[in-house]
Amino acid sequence: MRPTFMGFEVQKRTLMMAQKHQDITGNNLSNINTPGYTRQRVDIYSMYVSGLGETRWSSRSATLSMQGQGVNAYGVSQIRDVYIDKRYRENVSIESETEKKMNILGEIEDILDNFETTGLQLRTQDFWNALQDYSEQKPDSTEVATICVNAATNLCRMLNDYATQLREVEDTYVNELKDNLGYVNEILNEMTQLNKRIEQEKFHYAEEYGPNELYDEMNLYIDDLSTYGEIEVHQNANGTYNVTMGGVMILDGNNLKNSQIHMKDYELYGAAELYFENGQEVILTRGTLKAYQDMINGNGVYATGGQNNSYGIAYFKSALDVFARTVADTLNTANGADQFPNERTMFEASTDDNALITAANIRVSDIWKQDPTMIGKTRRLNEMTGMYEWGYDEKTDGPVTTVKYRYAYEPKTDDDGNIIYGADGLPEPLTDVNNLAKDENGNPYLLKDKDGHLVPERDAEGNIVYETVDGTASGIVDLQNTNVKYLFAQFDYKNIEFGNSHDFTGSFFTYISFVSNRLGQTIQYETARNETAVITVNELLDARDAVSKPQMDEEGINMMNYTKWYNASSRMLTTLDDMLDRLINGTGRVGL
């Protein structure tokens, strides 16, 4: 005969399991809006009687009578998909990186928004127009010459303003990076404390189970941490977590410690260089920290030291510095400042006489400010004194004449596109000197030698050819303005090299367009990356919610099923009670 009260024990456990399922279902419903909560379930199994016990004397029928022990539970587990978690964290780091880059590039764009309209392009055009106007006037026209000085001053101030604003953006994001590192280190400290709590609580659980609510809290921290860089997560046997970032373990659950991230002195090193506590450099392929490094350290072809080749704040600062320096060097050289710096310098650094000219320090020289017509003067021999002096070109008593310059012809170039010059310093013709080169508007332009000087026409005897200025009557006394014309011609030169790494070759105006286009292309690229990442992250988040987030309909169905289970088990207890009553009170005794 079967044990009398075994059926009651089986149903008691069944009622307990049904109640526990109802408890967990209610817990899921209660936390349906709790951030980071993971849906839980009771893992149950069918109990059985082992045939390997010490009751070897028992018969098979005796063992059979012990079958049907009912249901029991291993524990309460979480429903998570590790693969989806991994993919979500990989893509959310890309989303965070591109979003931060878009924000920083957007601020650069706000500063350089008028680069090709009312900003640098316009100020350069104004200066070009002023030189052109001056070149058509007498070189001693102080009023027109002053307009040139003012136009050059406005150009310098525009560059100064750009440099100041970019420096402010740079300072803002350097400080923001420091704040973010502080937050990351705070997260790591919190995760270390949480690992300690998990280890203590895990002692009271079976091997496969643990404190689910603490796991949820840890996963929230891990999700947050994944936005800053690529991470790998591993859960230890004691329930604690290890997290690796950039190949370095930043959270050690077994030893209950973490590795903080720090930044070197920015002003000292000139770059945002990050390192772990063990001294190893932080090298990341994605995440917000990488975005900060790329945008702060990104200096394109000008990268040195701890900088990188991205196009960030450093690059656009360098691009402006290169423009300012190229304009100053080109015009200073054309005006003779390389030989006579104290007399012919047009642009100088405001910080120091020997300082490298940058967008931040470029200014019109004191020499030029004090004598606006300085650029209209040339160095000539005073036949009376036998000394060279600076003055205006000689006056003429006959028709006003000017040097006739040669038109440029198609030059021969090498494999790298560089013009080949002959022994006379002139470009070698591709075909013949009559095959004139023309600009984008179809107009021919003047020929220049390898030093950038205009080449005059010469007659058969080698003498310079002069031509009469149209509309000038014989006998009018006038001055020639050849030097200003030469300065003005520098703006049409299309082979100026910008940057010590030859970032671009062209004219002043085309370089401005080049820098503006590079900014636009960089923004477009990061925007496209961000849009793709956002779509992927949203899809993965939906997939993760479908697995791990409590669903109202599903939990409602579970509640009804577990209620039916509980009711059926209760009815079984009533049936067992009737059977026991029949056995005790209704079974007749022999002989009575």
Computed over its alpha carbons, how large is the radius of gyration of the chain?
A: 42
According to the model, what pLDDT value does residue 493 have? 85
Query: CB-based contacts of 436: which residues, under 8 Å, 6+ apart?
Result: 407, 408, 409, 410, 444
388 exposed, middle or buried (CB, 10 Å; 0-12, 13-18, 19+)? exposed
Residue 222: both structure tokens together: 């891990």
According to the model, what pLDDT value does residue 529 have? 96
DSSP 361: T
Query: CB-based contacts of 124: which residues, under 8 Å, 6+ apart?
Result: 155, 327, 508, 509, 512
According to the model, what pLDDT value does residue 474 have? 41
10-residue averages of pLDDT along the chain (592 residues): 68 87 92 93 82 51 64 90 95 97 95 81 93 90 95 96 96 97 97 96 88 95 96 94 95 95 93 93 95 96 92 96 95 92 93 86 95 90 67 61 79 87 87 82 83 81 70 51 89 85 86 92 96 96 93 90 87 81 71 52
In terms of phi and psi (left: phi > 0; alpha: psi -120 to 50; beta: otherwise), the region of 75 is left
| CA torsion through residues 583, 584, 590, 592, sign | negative
H or E stretch at 168: helix 142-202
Residue 314 · residue 307 · CB < 8 Å: yes
According to the model, what pLDDT value does residue 476 have? 41
According to the model, what pLDDT value does residue 61 have? 56
In terms of phi and psi (left: phi > 0; alpha: psi -120 to 50; beta: otherwise), the region of 590 is beta
DSSP 176: H
According to the model, what pLDDT value does residue 482 have? 86
H or E stretch at 234: strand 231-235
CA dihedral 551, 554, 555, 558 (to 10 degrees): -170
H or E stretch at 290: helix 288-297
Residue 25 · residue 558 · CB < 8 Å: yes
Q: Please give the full DSSP string across 366-383, using - where no structure is assigned.
A: HHHHH-GGGGG-EEEEET
Give the Cα-Cα-Cα angle 387, 391, 397 (nearest 5 degrees).
105
The span from the CA of 454 to the CA of 408, in Å, is 10
According to the model, what pLDDT value does residue 106 have? 95
According to the model, what pLDDT value does residue 464 have? 77
Please give the model's pTM, rounded to 2 decimal places. Answer: 0.78
The span from the CA of 524 to the CA of 111, in Å, is 17
| CA torsion through residues 558, 559, 561, 566, sign | positive
472 exposed, middle or buried (CB, 10 Å; 0-12, 13-18, 19+)? middle
Residue 177: both structure tokens together: 């990076």
Alpha-carbon distance values, 330 to 248, 277, 366, 368 (Å): 50, 49, 18, 16
Continuous H helices in 361-507: 366-370, 482-489
Tell me the pLDDT tens digit for each residue of 400-440. 556 788 888 888 888 888 888 888 888 988 888 888 888 77
Residue 126 · residue 87 · CB < 8 Å: no
Tokens 């878009």 locate to 102
Give the Cα-Cα-Cα angle 426, 429, 431 (nearest 5 degrees).
170
Residue 24 · residue 12 · CB < 8 Å: no
Give the Cα-Cα-Cα angle 321, 323, 329 (nearest 5 degrees).
100
According to the model, what pLDDT value does residue 589 have? 60
According to the model, what pLDDT value does residue 78 have? 92
DSSP 476: -
Beta-strand pair 71-78/40-46: antiparallel
Tokens 């013009």 locate to 419
Neighbours of 28 (CB within 10 A): 24
H or E stretch at 402: strand 401-403
User: What angle, rounded to 10 degrees, do the helices at 212-226 and 82-111 form?
Assistant: 30
Residue 507 · residue 514 · CB < 8 Å: no
Tell me the pLDDT tens digit for each residue of 473-490. 444 456 778 899 999 889
The span from the CA of 492 to the CA of 439, in Å, is 9
According to the model, what pLDDT value does residue 56 have? 47
Neighbours of 93 (CB within 10 A): 27
